[in-house]
Structure 1
Amino acid sequence: MATGGDLKRAIGLMSGTSMDGIDLAMLDTDGDAVVDRGASSFTAFDADFRKRLTAALETAKAITEREERPGELAEIEIELTDRHAEAVEAFMARESLNRDDIDVIGFHGQTMLHRPRQALTVQLGLGARLAERLGIDVVYDLRARDMTMGGQGAPLVPAYHRALAAGLSGEWAELRPVVFVNIGGISNITYIGSDDVLLAFDSGPGNALIDQWVTRHAGVPYDSGGAIASEGRVLSSLANQYLSSPFFTAKQRISLDRNDFLPPEDGQAELEDGARTLAFVTAAAIAKAQAHLPEKLKLWILTGGGRHNRMIVEDLTVATRHSGQVIVAEQAGLNGDSMEAEAWAWLAVRSLRGLPLTYPGTTGVSEPATGGVLARGYGCKNA
């Protein structure tokens, strides 16, 4: 277990909007400035379970109260929780850890519905079941309190981004303002200003549209490295359909649900042109975020799966060539694959300490807000 001061050893679990599997990361941290990143892992969902999750998104549209689990959702929630438990057990066996070595687990679950205008967010995942199975305390449901206080419940990672920015070294240490760009299913940015001002918001579509497009037309779960997109061309009329959305010009930044932007209709593009155009849209949407920031940027740090799509990175580099350098997380000594899982570990410790998880500048919450629900691990050392 972590030793010294208020340090705790935490495991973070993230299943994102791409629904491809479970990211896991371990930290020793005080939930504030100290972040000692440890091992990480990824457990992929099999094709059948991923298909069931995708179908469940349609079922979830009928939910009007957070506790509702229509159709197959209750069964999927149990299976999803158990898959997370198995991922933790496999990781701990690999790293020769036992339950007394871990103080807390931060559990995101799988977002099925996110409607900030209705203060409604639904993440599948049974925190108490996970805690009992593993015998380790679990902090879960980290978005809900923010929404009851007028926030949009997302993004939650920005406070962790600021902690990472404070620890940057070498040539990146003094570059401010800096933006972290998480290109997941939906893209979001975290802005840390020269005066340490923290702002964050969703910038638009990320990988979700590309994933859905290539799954439907090529039978593959994602465009590996942007290989499919690299064979296509940008269809301006199709790109403009997305980029002319009122979302990009609205003064108030809103948190997106993956259904707010949908993939092209069949017949609108060939496989390669569709993938290329959607990669361009992702980059252009991120670049448009500059219009909502108070200072000209000096550094863009790309995280999430989308940083592996070379067409997205190339398009963003061109679009931001007059406003800072674009690098991937690894160039700054960070891990762009495990960063969200790391954040959930960090947020869990922060929740235990009653520290703010969200701020007016990140989610629109009325005042800095903590959050999360603690489930005690059956018979665990902290019970």
Structure 2
Amino acid sequence: MGSNKPIWVTGLMSGTSLDGVDAACLLTNGVDIIKFGSSAYRPYSAVEREMLQNVLGKWPAASGLEPAAALILAAHLEAVAQVPAGELIGFHGQTLSHDPQNFRTHQLGDGSELARRAGVAVAWDFRSEDVAQGGQGAPLAPIYHWALARYKQMQEPVAIVNLGGVGNITWVDARLPPEQGLLAFDTGPANAPLNDFILKTTGQAYDADGALAASGRVDTQVVASFMRHPYFARPAPKSLDRDGFGDMIGLVAQLSAADGAATLTAICVAAVAASLALMPVRPKQMWISGGGRKNREMMRQLEMKLPTVVSDINAIGLDGDMLEAQAFAYLAARVARGLPTSFPATTAAKAPLCGGKISLP
């Protein structure tokens, strides 16, 4: 796998929003995107989602992880079975805890067992080495964003925003090598606290189309108070745990369901807007990916608050649902070639390094 010949890789992603497993096929040599392939989605049931929520925050030595680990393995195998077999699988696992300040991160899932059961080599454990070397271990998609901007032949800096459970952003100038043309960091909370609030107050898994938030009023004092959190003053790069801001539902507990949804949506947007101040040059475009782009109220607020062109990434011909799964396919190819997967300006690692390891069937 050490050659620069393009290979078909299947990337797998189960994010902090706990909605399901994405699988996406990518033909790549670890530098260039040659072709996009098939994709599939294996959703979690309400019972499965609750099982995973119950183990969030746990570390490897904790008891009671076995059922959740078995679920992760089974769900990922089912996702893999829905797409054509490739030569390599990129397996992120399920993040339960992330604490880079204390040099630790925990993604539940055994890549060696996945390789054995799937009969395909698996690249996995992408974050541990970066964290061990003093990096944030996240975000890891920026090098793929650089490849996407090259694929789209961008001749100006752009920003790619992923609104999953946590928001993250990559500033990328594809005319430069990755060591010079990337800056990345987590912007702040995104769908996770909003989804948790919607589930608690309405019993629904998320705010479909942002309809509830659109019917409410933003409590601007809550938003302003939240944005004084020290995290937003920290320089980039920086990263967050899913629940890094504590009990965000408590921030809006005194509000109606509609006003609470509107306010949590506005917090996500304010965090993205604040990210512009950390960029070397204001991007001419912002491409929005992840589940947040399907929230019409969130997109409306982004378009209103951001002083640049804001686009759903699907509108420029890319797949916002599968971007992160594609990213781990691309990262797997880089691990196979021994190429860096993170950089000082993306995770604060001291030098470019290749995270991840490969398990053979």
Q: Under a length normalisation based on structure 2, what TM-score does the superposition of the two structures give?
A: 0.94
State the partner residue of 1:381: none
Residue 109 to residue 5, structure 1, CA distance change in 2 (3 Å)? closer
State the partner residue of 2:282: 296
Shift of 1:194: 7.3
Report whether the alignment pairs 1:263 with 2:243. Answer: no
Report whether the alignment pairs 1:144 with 2:128. Answer: yes
The answer to whether the 8 Å contact 2:6/2:34 transfers is: no
Shift of 1:209: 0.9
Distance 2:190 2:321 in 1: 15
Distance 2:140 2:37 in 1: 21
2:326 to 317, 325, 342: 342
Shift of 1:254: 2.1
Distance 2:64 2:117 in 1: 22
The answer to whether the 8 Å contact 2:33/2:148 transfers is: no
Query: 2:13 aligns to what SS in structure 1?
Result: strand
State the partner residue of 1:46: 45
Shift of 1:195: 5.4
Task: Deviation per CA, 1:249-273: give whole Å up to 9, x if none.
Answer: 1235421001112322274211010
State the partner residue of 2:77: 85
Distance 1:312 1:187 in 2: 12
Amino acid at match of 1:243: M
Distance 2:34 2:133 in 1: 28
Sequence identity (%) = 38
Task: Deviation per CA, 1:39-63: give whole Å up to 9, x if none.
Answer: 11111000001011111115x1xx3
Distance 2:258 2:200 in 1: 12
Shift of 1:12: 0.4
The answer to whether the 8 Å contact 1:212/1:263 transfers is: no
Ranges in structure 2 where 5+ consecutive residues have no aligned partner? none
Report whether the alignment pairs 1:75 with 2:67. Answer: yes
Report whether the alignment pairs 1:184 with 2:164. Answer: yes
State the partner residue of 1:312: 298
Amino acid at match of 2:269: A
Distance 1:199 1:238 in 2: 29
The answer to whether the 8 Å contact 2:100/2:134 transfers is: no
State the partner residue of 2:28: 29
Distance 2:258 2:105 in 1: 34
The answer to whether the 8 Å contact 2:104/2:132 transfers is: no
Query: 1:327 aligns to what SS in structure 2?
Result: strand
Report whether the alignment pairs 1:363 with 2:343. Answer: no
Q: CA RMSD in A?
A: 1.6
Correspondence list, 1:49-198, <5 A? 49-58=48-57, 60=58, 63=59, 67-68=60-61, 70-89=62-81, 91-92=82-83, 97=84, 101-168=85-152, 173-174=154-155, 176-193=156-173, 196=176, 197-198=181-182
Shift of 1:5: 6.2
Distance 1:35 1:284 in 2: 36
2:315 to 331, 344, 355: 331
State the partner residue of 1:13: 12
Query: 2:101 aligns to what SS in structure 1?
Result: helix
The answer to whether the 8 Å contact 1:150/1:364 transfers is: yes
Distance 1:241 1:74 in 2: 40
Distance 1:376 1:267 in 2: 49
Distance 2:123 2:241 in 1: 23
Distance 2:200 2:90 in 1: 33
Distance 2:292 2:301 in 1: 12
The answer to whether the 8 Å contact 1:284/1:315 transfers is: no
Shift of 1:311: 1.4
Query: 2:168 aligns to what SS in structure 1?
Result: strand
Amino acid at match of 1:32: V
Query: 1:227 aligns to what SS in structure 2?
Result: helix
The answer to whether the 8 Å contact 1:193/1:295 transfers is: no
Query: 2:55 aligns to what SS in structure 1?
Result: helix
Amino acid at match of 1:300: M
State the partner residue of 2:267: 281
The answer to whether the 8 Å contact 2:42/2:78 transfers is: no
Amino acid at match of 1:165: A
Amino acid at match of 1:313: M
Amino acid at match of 2:333: V
Shift of 1:186: 0.3
Query: 1:370 aligns to what SS in structure 2?
Result: coil
The answer to whether the 8 Å contact 1:280/1:311 transfers is: no
State the partner residue of 2:193: 209
Amino acid at match of 2:75: R
Task: Deviation per CA, 1:322-367: give whole Å up to 9, x if none.
Answer: xx21111111110000000000011101100000000000000010
Ranges in structure 1 where 5+ consecutive residues have no aligned partner? 378-383
Report whether the alignment pairs 1:240 with 2:224. Answer: yes
1:199 to 175, 180, 183: 183
Task: Deviation per CA, 1:267-290: give whole Å up to 9, x if none.
Answer: 421101011111111111001001
Task: Deviation per CA, 1:183-231: give whole Å up to 9, x if none.
Answer: 0000000001375321000000110011000000000111111011111
The answer to whether the 8 Å contact 2:237/2:345 transfers is: no
